[in-house]
Structure formats: structure tokens, C-alpha cells
Amino acid sequence: MNVVLPQPYLLFLGDTTEPGYAKTAFGLRDWAPERCIGEFSLPGATVTTGLPFLSPAQARNSGAQAMVIGVANAGGFIPPAWIAALVEALESGLDLVAGMHARLRDIALLRETAARLGRRLIDVRVPPEGIPVGTGKRRTGKRLLTIGTDCALGKKYTALSLARAFQSRGVDATFRATGQTGILIAGGGIPMDAVVADFAAGAAELLTPDAPAAHWDVVEGQGALHHPAYAGVSLALLHGSQPDVIVVCHEPGRERVLGHPDYPVPGLRDTIELALRLGSRTSPRIRCAGISLNTGKLDADEAARVIASESDRLGLPVADPMRGGEAFDRLVDACLS
């Protein structure tokens, strides 16, 4: 029932010269290298993922199933200069997957070409059909959810890092994607933010189905429980995913909610306590294993100091997954213990 994407991918970089616009392509290269067999771009592009350059036909011959638009442009639309390359991909036997803001089906030539050739145009922002209402029934297997004190501070990255760390310890674990980039990385998932509100908890249940007792779903969080616009999505995901364990994600020094300067970022204690209280409704033994700090704006010494002092203050493991080390090992221990 989840979206499942055709793969492996050829990554399309358009005519991009600004690396910031190619975050999706870089994320795929870093987190799903096994799904990426090459890149394709137009003359004038200067951004590269470092993967082999392949034409759509070469990629198809090497096994690619889809070309992923791994870049955005400033307007969030598909520029006319890209269309010929997208048509070429369809004609070479590849499906097209839109990774960011672009809407493939809004372009008549793509729609017609895909229909004629029997190719698919897949927009990862579109949820699957037929999502049921949540049931609240307990499911087998273990689940971890990343919870944020705000948006855009590392919930996806933390979930990916933990899933990878679980796997490297021989634990059977699956990263469960709830946003567009995560869905491309995982090769499937549900875009929680695009689900109709009444079905949001049901979507989270669907995303994390019954599993063997020792299996972990590691679920990408969305929004924040204190967020003035997105708290409903966060609560539906918390209720529906029924986490055994939460890891709270925070950026030290961020004092105001992104885009909502009237709202202070809540404290970690308050966030932990609220998440456990709300989460216990569907997952009675929910616990917080620790904190993931995004210390990307700090130097190594400052980061180590903040990580240690927050760990002392809260009595919990605290780590920056990006920096790894023993602190991260302790966080992983606490998740699995």
C-alpha cells in the first residue's frame, strides 16, 4: 500500500550550477548509493554527484528503472530547457520520479509521452490511494520515531543514521520515510504532510505494519508537537507509529521556530515529557532513549561541550549523529537496550 518507487535510479541534475539546489541528489548519493547507478545532466551544469555520467539509454541498459529529478530550481517548477531530456528518459524506457516541487503530470508533453509509451510519472508528494482511518491496534515488532523541537533540524538524518547503526550491529531495521527526500532514499514511504487529516494516523499505521518481534522500524519524524502549523501532523504520526522509543532532535542555539518568530523553540525536557505523555496513549511503554543534537554550526570543541553538558543536565545519552563517536554509540545502545 505504501508508495514503492521503481529503482535503481538515474539522477537528473538539469542545468544546475548551484549545489544548494541539488540536495536531493546528494542525499540519494549519500544515503541510497545502492539505488543510484549514475547521473545525467544538461550542457552547462556544473553540479555533480561524482557518480558516472550516463545517458538515459545507457542507464536503462545498466538496469536503471527510473530517472529521478534530483534538483529544484529557484521557482520550484520544471524549466522548459529540461523537457527534452525528460522525454528522452521516457523514450529510453525509464519512468520519471519528481523528487522536489516539480509536478510532472502538469506538463502535457510528458503526460502524453508517458501514456503513449506506458511509462509512469511519479510524484513522491502524492500519497497512495485508499489510506484507512487509524485503528490504534497494537502491532508486532519494534518502532522508533524521531521527534523534533522544530522543523528542519535533523529528524530525517537522525532516523537514517540510527537505522544504519542498527543494521551495522546486525539488528534487522528499516528506515521508514514520511517526507519526499526520505521516500526517494528509502525507495518508498508515505508523504505524511500530504495525507488528508482524518487519515494521517492511519497512514502512519500503514507505514509501520506488523513485523517480526526483533525488527525495528526507524521512522522519520515530521513537524513538531509545539509547532503552531504542523503539530497535528506530528501528533498523528506519534499516535499512528506507536513508537517504543523516541529520540528527540534539537539544534542548540535555535531559539525561535523557523518562520514563526513569535514562537520560542520549546525546551528539551518539555518536549520529551509532552511526547511521552501523548505517545503513551497508543504505546503505553514508550520511552525516550536520548537526544540527537544538530551541532553543525558549532566547532568540534563547542559541540563536545554542549553534548556533554546536555547529557549531564538531562541524564540521557546525547549525540550528534553527524559527528558519531562514543556519544552516538551510547545513544544507539540506549535505543536498543
The residues binding its own copies (CB under 8 A) are: 133-138, 192-198, 200-202, 226, 228-237, 239, 260, 262-263, 274, 277-278, 281-282
Name which of 281 and 297 has its Cβ closer to its own copies: 281
Nearest CA to 133 out of 204, 42, 192 is that of 204
Q: How far is the CB of 109 from its own copies (least distance, A)?
A: 26
Q: Are the beta carbons of 234 and 220 closer than 8 angstroms?
A: no
Q: How far is the CB of 150 from its own copies (least distance, A)?
A: 13
Name which of 8 and 134 has its Cβ closer to its own copies: 134
Q: How far is the CB of 12 from its own copies (least distance, A)?
A: 26
Nearest-angstrom CA–CA distance, 273 and 212: 29
Name which of 197 and 213 has its Cβ closer to its own copies: 197
Kindly tell me the burial class for residue 108, based on how many C-beta atoms sit within 10 Å of its own C-beta (0-12, 13-18, 19 or more).
exposed
Nearest CA to 183 out of 243, 249, 123, 244 is that of 123
List the grid coordinates of 45: 551544469
According to DSSP, the β-strands at 3-4 and 188-189 are: antiparallel
Q: The cell 544538461 sits on which residue? A: 42
How many residues are recorded in the chain?
A: 337
Name which of 50 and 261 has its Cβ closer to its own copies: 261
Q: How far is the CB of 107 from its own copies (least distance, A)?
A: 21
Residues with Cβ within 8 Å of residue 303, at least 6 apart in sequence: 293, 295, 320, 323
Q: HSE (CB half, 13 Å, CA atoms) of 187? A: 14
Name which of 85 and 224 has its Cβ closer to its own copies: 224
Name which of 87 and 286 has its Cβ closer to its own copies: 286
Name which of 6 and 279 has its Cβ closer to its own copies: 279
List the grid coordinates of 49: 554527484
Nearest-angstrom CA–CA distance, 324 and 29: 20
Name which of 234 and 311 has its Cβ closer to its own copies: 234
Q: How far is the CB of 261 from its own copies (least distance, A)?
A: 10
Q: How far is the CB of 154 from its own copies (least distance, A)?
A: 20
Nearest CA to 100 out of 144, 70, 142, 143 is that of 70
Q: How far is the CB of 46 from its own copies (least distance, A)?
A: 34
Nearest CA to 149 out of 267, 228, 245 is that of 267
Q: Are the beta carbons of 99 and 180 closer than 8 angstroms?
A: yes
Q: How far is the CB of 159 from its own copies (least distance, A)?
A: 19
Nearest-angstrom CA–CA distance, 6 and 68: 10
Name which of 19 and 228 has its Cβ closer to its own copies: 228
Q: How far is the CB of 193 from its own copies (least distance, A)?
A: 4
- For CA atoms 210, 216, 222, 223, give the dihedral sign: positive
Kindly tell me the burial class for residue 93, based on how many C-beta atoms sit within 10 Å of its own C-beta (0-12, 13-18, 19 or more).
middle
